[in-house]
Amino acid sequence: MTTEGALDLMRNAMVIAATVATPVLVAALIVGLLVGVLQTATQVNEASVSFLFKLLAVAAALVVFGPFILTELVEYTRHSISSIAQVVP
């Protein structure tokens, strides 16, 4: 295995991890900000309200972006397994 091959595999892993995590994290961020603004405006500082809405947003994001996430992970796995023959002498 060459150093360039190992670095390429690691770089691809990091890019796929960021690509897969982005929709879920963005949904949680947006809902968290909206709930925080509403809680500040109404002066209701209950942690369980924020948690519930974030949980629902993450679940909705997984339902909506689930096929995209699965496709990305399957393609990355196929690419990694096919490149084993090139990396191992």
| The predicted structure's pLDDT at residue 69 | 95
Task: List, as one string, the DSSP characters of 32-57.
Answer: HHHHHHHHHHHT---HHHHHHHHHHH
Q: What is the mean pLDDT of residues 48-54?
A: 88
Asked whether residue 89 is domain-assigned, the answer is no
Q: Which helix (H) or strand (E) holds 66?
A: helix 47-87
The per-residue pLDDT for range 5-31, each reduced to its tens digit, is 778 888 999 999 999 999 999 999 999
How much is the pLDDT for 65?
96
Predicted local confidence at residue 20, as pLDDT:
94
DSSP 8-state code for residue 1 = -
Q: Which domain holds residue 10?
A: 3-84
Q: Domains in the chain: how many in total?
A: 1
In a domain, 74, yes or no: yes
- The pLDDT of 60-85, averaged and rounded, is 91
- The answer to whether residue 62 sits within a structural domain is yes
Give the pTM: 0.79
Categorize the per-residue pLDDT at 88 as very low, low, confident or very high, splitting at 50, 70 and 90. Answer: low
Residue 80 lies in a domain: yes
Return the minimum-mean-pLDDT range out of 5-9, 39-43, 63-67: 5-9
